[in-house]
Amino acid sequence: MQGICAVGTSRQSVQDLYRRLWDTYGPQGWWPVYFFEGSPGYHINKYPFPLSAAGRFEVCLGALLTQNTTWINAKHALVHLFEEGLLSAEKLCNISHEDLATIIYCCGYYRQKAKKVQMFSQWWQKSDTEQVPSRAQLLALWGIGQETADSILSYAYHQSIFVADTYAKRLFFQEGLLPHAKASYQQVQTIGSQIQPLAGQDQILAYQEFHALIAEHMKTIGKKISRSSL
DNA sequence: CCCCAGGGAATTC
DNA sequence: GAATTCCATGGG
């Protein structure tokens, strides 16, 4: 079982885990930005995306649409919105809930997500889009929990925050970094926040890449298990 | 047929 | 606070 992956060894530090993931998978370039900014997509080794308010808005919508769904489906929903000319807070506020739900149907939970997108768009319209929102401000919005709030702060606004998702919880526990399989969001975030930037990185990018690498690793492991059952 | 995917709110205890 | 349940499509 040792050769399955380069990250299987237990009793290591979080920093060791981050280093091994980086060495195994390389830079991930999250969060992809497809529209209005020259379509960089996954901007590997290019830090500053998103550059504009439109790009930040796109990242925020993606964070809502990808909840408990594959990124593939969330991206399709984003493309549909783009094709309908709806990637703006104003347009999304004016469209009917039913029409919006139909357009984003492919990413699941389409009624809830239509509401989330419209609630967020209303907040966006009355906010200063050049100012970084507080975590509490984001959490106060219907449809935004801790993970989505942190994703927005990290990837849309370049704040120094580690996104502690269920992948991270599972992996940290498997690696012996967490005492309980059911740790709180805060506990997982505290562990992940301990990493230091690798050469050429700042803390913000380290957190961005670490979260993306954890997702990439867990998806890779999942595929290997279901395919060949070794 | 099953389970999972880049979660969160509402309900119940 | 912790444990369930619901939301819903798509792919393995």
- Which positions 153-172 on chain A have a beta carbon less than 7 angstroms from any atom of strand B? 155, 165-167
A108 torsion bin: left (phi>0), alpha (psi -120 to 50), beta (else) = left
Tokens at A109, concatenated: 């939970």
Indicate if CB(A210) is under 7 A from strand B.
Answer: no
Tokens at A24, concatenated: 């195994």
User: How far apart are the C-alpha atoms of A167 and A120, rounded to whole Å?
Assistant: 26
Residue A177: which residues within 8 A CB-CB, separation 6 or more?
Answer: A14, A17, A191
Say what the pLDDT of residue A39 is: 74
Say what the pLDDT of residue A11 is: 59
Strand C footprint, Cβ within 7 Å: A 68-70, 72-73, 105-106, 108-113, 182, 184, 223, 226-227
Q: How far is the CA of A158 from the C1' of B5 (A)?
A: 25
Are the CB atoms for A115 and A100 separated by under 8 Å?
no
Are the CB atoms for A116 and A97 separated by under 8 Å?
no
Say what the pLDDT of residue A199 is: 96
User: How far apart are the C-alpha atoms of A31 and A43, rounded to whole Å?
Assistant: 8
- Closest nucleotide (C1' vs CA) to A64 is B7
**What is the separation, in whole angstroms, between the first and last Cα of chain A?**
9
If one counts every other C-beta atom within 10 angstroms of the C-beta of residue A154, the result is 22
Indicate if CB(A173) is under 7 A from strand B.
Answer: no
Nucleotides on chain B within 7 angstroms of protein Cβ: 4-10
Say what the pLDDT of residue A225 is: 58
User: How far apart are the C-alpha atoms of A124 and A148, rounded to whole Å?
Assistant: 15
User: How far apart are the C-alpha atoms of A154 and A206, rounded to whole Å?
Assistant: 11
Say what the pLDDT of residue A100 is: 98
Look up the pTM and report it.
0.94
Say what the pLDDT of residue A187 is: 97
Indicate if CB(A34) is under 7 A from strand B.
Answer: no
Q: How far is the CA of A106 from the C1' of B7 (A)?
A: 17
Residue A99: which residues within 8 A CB-CB, separation 6 or more?
Answer: none
- Closest nucleotide (C1' vs CA) to A31 is B6
Per-residue pLDDT of chain A (230 residues; tens, 9 = 90+): 333 344 544 558 999 999 999 999 999 999 999 999 987 999 999 989 999 999 999 999 999 999 999 999 999 999 999 999 999 999 999 999 999 999 999 999 999 999 999 999 999 999 999 999 999 999 999 999 999 999 999 999 999 999 999 999 999 999 999 999 999 999 999 999 999 999 999 999 999 999 999 999 999 998 875 544 43
Say what the pLDDT of residue A226 is: 53
User: How far apart are the C-alpha atoms of A206 and A15, rounded to whole Å?
Assistant: 11
